[in-house]
Structure 1
Amino acid sequence: MPRHSSNDFTGSLCGTCCRPINDRFLLRIMDVSYHEHCVQCCACGDLLHHTCFVKDAKLYCRIDYDRRVT
């Protein structure tokens, strides 16, 4: 997942907590911005550090994506 400087997306709101992102870095997934600590699986709550899967605008870890979506 690419990390971007929050200066590139000034005024961005986090897709999970809906709060402004004032951190030095943010993550962009499917054109939605997130705080680094807010990128977590919607099913199990694990933080997603390296990869994530998206279905219906919800983030999943590989295990829960395979379990619930496929």
Structure 2
Amino acid sequence: MMTMDVSKSEAAKPGSNTGQQECAGCCKPITERFLLKALDLYWHEDCLKCGCCDCRLGEVGSTLYTKANLILCKRDYLRLFGNTGYCAACTKVIPAFEMVMRARNNVYHLECFACQQCNHR
């Protein structure tokens, strides 16, 4: 697994000496005002997408995940490769992408994490 930062920057202006970048997704020149840089490659904003849900990775955050030649958003990476655990309070499954509370070696659903004396969350 590898996480990479996605950075958005202005593309080269037409007529400048820096030349146009080629999109790693569609192999066409990037003529739009902005481009994304990820995995040491340049991308159109529409071309850098999650391999599972097709969400635009430049919009959902600044990190992408790669594994097994897939480019994924965080949610799909955790869904496919994350660890599923069990809540120490209710003993039901906690999906890998769900937010949790941890106390010592225990993991809890957010709604299950409560005081044992007064049951206050």
Asked if Structure 1 and Structure 2 have the same fold, meaning a TM-score greater than 0.5 normalized by the shorter chain, the answer is: yes
Deviant stretches of 4+, over 2 Å = 8-11, 54-58, 67-70
Q: Which residue of 2 aligns with 1:14?
A: 23
Query: Which protein, 1 or 2, shows the higher relative CO under an 8 Å CA cutoff with sep ≥ 6?
Result: 1
Q: 1:37 to 1:14 in 2, by over 3 A?
A: same
The count of residues paired between Structure 1 and Structure 2 equals 70
Superposition TM-score, scaled by structure 2 size: 0.49
Structure 1, unaligned runs of 5 or more:
none
Q: Which has the higher helix share?
A: 1
**Cα distance in 1, alignment partners of residues 47 and 65 from structure 2:** 15
Identity of aligned residues (%): 31
Task: Decide which structure has the larger Cα Rg and report it.
Answer: 2
Q: Which has the higher strand share?
A: 2
Letter in 1 for 2:77: Y
Structure 2, unaligned runs of 5 or more:
1-5, 83-121
Superposition TM-score, scaled by structure 1 size: 0.77
User: Aligned-residue CA RMSD in angstroms?
Assistant: 2.2
